[in-house]
Structure 1
């Protein structure tokens, strides 16, 4: 009995040891297999809200990359627009970030200031850089300082796709006001606004003063020749040029040439007003015309398109989407190779045509414009796309990628509003905005 019991215990112990060793062996083999499948060759790529519309495009793109790079496999993860910032912050903090990420310069620069991204100047040759629009490439540069005199410029993003604003206007309202040419400068716009209001009782345009909305007010400073910030990040708009911008918007409001809702409503309200025939012009993307055609076909029939409104500087704004590479990636060369593949001329051109955006690659934008000029369907949408592409020659990212940019916008917006409603003089509003910004730096 005892002998049997001991043998039973011995059998159970040996069985347990056998199972334990087998389990370790299986775990080891699975780990090795997993490492082979998702190790060196797997590139994790995050985009912002591009599924399901562009799933076929990326499926084909990634298959081609994997065919050309047999040791590589792409894991594509699409993240909702409003979730990207929190997800990438968490991933970077945990040193578990994807290998390539689609971000805009504003947010990417915030993490670039924490030295989160690869300095692409160390990995990409001048020859390759020269293939991209130079002003767009330069928008992804930021100065990083380790000490007072130890500052270096780093490039944190590869330009991908772009959008520029065009002016969409109501030809009928322009005709009633006796305006034969669309305004091209802010000076022209002020004159047109008064004519339209006097002749039709309607507003010419809408510029939102809601903080978490359009950057139009901030862009107007740069377009009119005023600097927003100096090299140290301090306010640089307390100058004759900056005061003139405050005065411009204040005068328009006090003359009754801007809708009172600019204080509380965003760009969406401007779209609604334009589609209702209550607004003479709006700055927007070329694809907005399709929305007008669907929602307000009678307004679409009356619409024309013109270049983006600017100031004496002739500068025009462009919005940029980039690809960035985390500094801590274990697949550095593969990530750079993949990011350059996604943004090469052929792939940028194809994506731009599918998504109705603009490429940032020199060869691609040249071919994009050529294709539009050859397009047999020369309607208003095609013309808007052509204008949008051609004005890239003068376009740049007008708002610098700096920390707390939304706070700067809030400060300027609130002080312009105070001047508009006569709570402050324009000069006092500029002084207060300057002090408020400098106090948080």
Structure 2
């Protein structure tokens, strides 16, 4: 389940080959749609094999999937599931090569970004053509809609995660604050940071200057049709000026702090808070066990956007599948509430299904930091959504916005002028 950054970049770079590769695929001899995939089911009694690909889940979860597959095959005696698991870095090339050869897998595990890129190229089926409203409604709306482009749903949400607020209770108490009544909004978090700074000399938290800061504060990065930049507004100016003020005051460390730096600052008790996913726990548990013991996790304070940004893994069905109907049925089975609940318990992940969150596993705590983070993260799933999905050249757009933020906040560039320049750069990227 490790999300390797290099593999993610390879995914985004590789997707530009999809149109060419799809065109190179030979059409099926019968029962095909315009994209070359079978739209019908198998004949009555016909034995079929569905090829199911996952990412980096063997051998840790081999027993879970063997049991899931066995249960499905018992209920569907004409279907055999051929499960293959690949490293994160390898799955993209294998998938693209498979599509080009005309021997596509039937059900594939991808992240939301790449699933949407595949969808925008017409390489995966639209689940809206297969699912009932009840089936679609089983998933959290924001997470399900993260892969909906122009009304077409290109993936089923699977396991996911959202950020929480980690607090050093020692520093919080030294500042005269009560960790049992944590901040609920970004404004309250800033006030806590000011008191931390005044009473302890420490900063509130470290921040990476990335594009997600805009939607967190209620600013749309692109227009509704994703054709042009939409962030050059007074609201964005106010958000940037506020962050710059917090950094000038020392409430937020004045630098572009990536995740590694944030771990260092929190481990060294240079900051009192960390805004991160549950993987952060593993790092501080190893690097700073005393800080780990003094840390609690609470729901992430919301900004004006009143949303939680999720980081989801999904399941797609390539259009080149020869058994689309059966593949969709298995994809729904893998991601239904019962199986998502079971997988979350085995893998300590969060589900994307509404019914799963009712399970005591997501509400009852043994007071460990891990349990606190899980519960706090689960509480934000109803507001969760991925962002910048289905956008061509999303990586370039995110980089352009990050550079603009750096120029303004770290280098003192004029806010209005830099926003206009960044807007022009993003519009140029979108026009390519």
Output the TM-score relative to the length of structure 2: 0.82
**Change in CA separation of 1:272 and 1:350 when aligned onto 2, cut-off 3 Å:** same
**What SS is found at the alignment partner of 2:99?**
helix
Q: For the Cα contact (< 8 Å) 2:116–2:154, is it kept in 1?
A: yes
Q: Does 1:245 align with 2:243?
A: no
- In the TM superposition, 1:62-211 aligns within 5 A as 62-143=69-150, 153-180=151-178, 181-209=181-209
1:284-319: CA deviation from partner (whole Å, max 9, x where unpaired): 223543543344221122112211122133222222
The size of the alignment, in residue pairs, is 382
- In the TM superposition, 1:4-19 aligns within 5 A as none
**Change in CA separation of 1:399 and 1:86 when aligned onto 2, cut-off 3 Å:** same
Structure 2 residue aligned with 1:392, among 360, 368, 381?
381
Q: For the Cα contact (< 8 Å) 1:170–1:281, is it kept in 2?
A: yes
Give, in whole Å, the separation in 1 of the partners of 2:103 and 2:203: 51
Offset of residue 163 of structure 1: 0.8
Offset of residue 248 of structure 1: 2.6
- The structure that has the greater radius of gyration is 1
Offset of residue 77 of structure 1: 1.4
Match of 1:292 in 2: 284
Give, in whole Å, the separation in 2 of the partners of 1:409 and 1:344: 33
Which stretch of the first structure deviates more once superposed, 265-274 or 427-436?
A: 265-274
**What SS is found at the alignment partner of 1:46?**
strand
Structure 1 gaps of 5+ residues are 1-38, 144-152, 210-216
Which stretch of the first structure deviates more once superposed, 129-138 or 193-202?
A: 193-202
Q: Does 1:406 align with 2:382?
A: no
Which stretch of the first structure deviates more once superposed, 42-51 or 183-192?
A: 183-192
- The 4+ residue runs of structure 1 with deviation greater than 6 A are none
The Cα RMSD (Å) is 2.1
Q: Does 1:371 align with 2:361?
A: yes
Give, in whole Å, the separation in 2 of the partners of 1:207 and 1:399: 20
Structure 2 residue aligned with 1:218, among 208, 211, 227?
211
Give, in whole Å, the separation in 2 of the partners of 1:129 and 1:422: 47
Structure 2 gaps of 5+ residues are 1-45
Give, in whole Å, the separation in 1 of the partners of 2:274 and 2:309: 15
Match of 1:31 in 2: none
Q: For the Cα contact (< 8 Å) 1:120–1:154, is it kept in 2?
A: yes
Offset of residue 364 of structure 1: 1.7
1:50-103: CA deviation from partner (whole Å, max 9, x where unpaired): 111111111111122222222222121112112323332333344333111111
Structure 1 residue aligned with 2:64, among 53, 57, 72?
57
Give, in whole Å, the separation in 2 of the partners of 1:427 and 1:196: 32
**Change in CA separation of 1:400 and 1:170 when aligned onto 2, cut-off 3 Å:** same
**What SS is found at the alignment partner of 1:76?**
strand
Give, in whole Å, the separation in 1 of the partners of 2:130 and 2:177: 53
Give, in whole Å, the separation in 1 of the partners of 2:330 and 2:367: 36
Q: For the Cα contact (< 8 Å) 2:218–2:306, is it kept in 1?
A: no
Offset of residue 40 of structure 1: 5.6
**What SS is found at the alignment partner of 2:176?**
coil
Q: For the Cα contact (< 8 Å) 1:251–1:420, is it kept in 2?
A: no
Offset of residue 260 of structure 1: 4.9
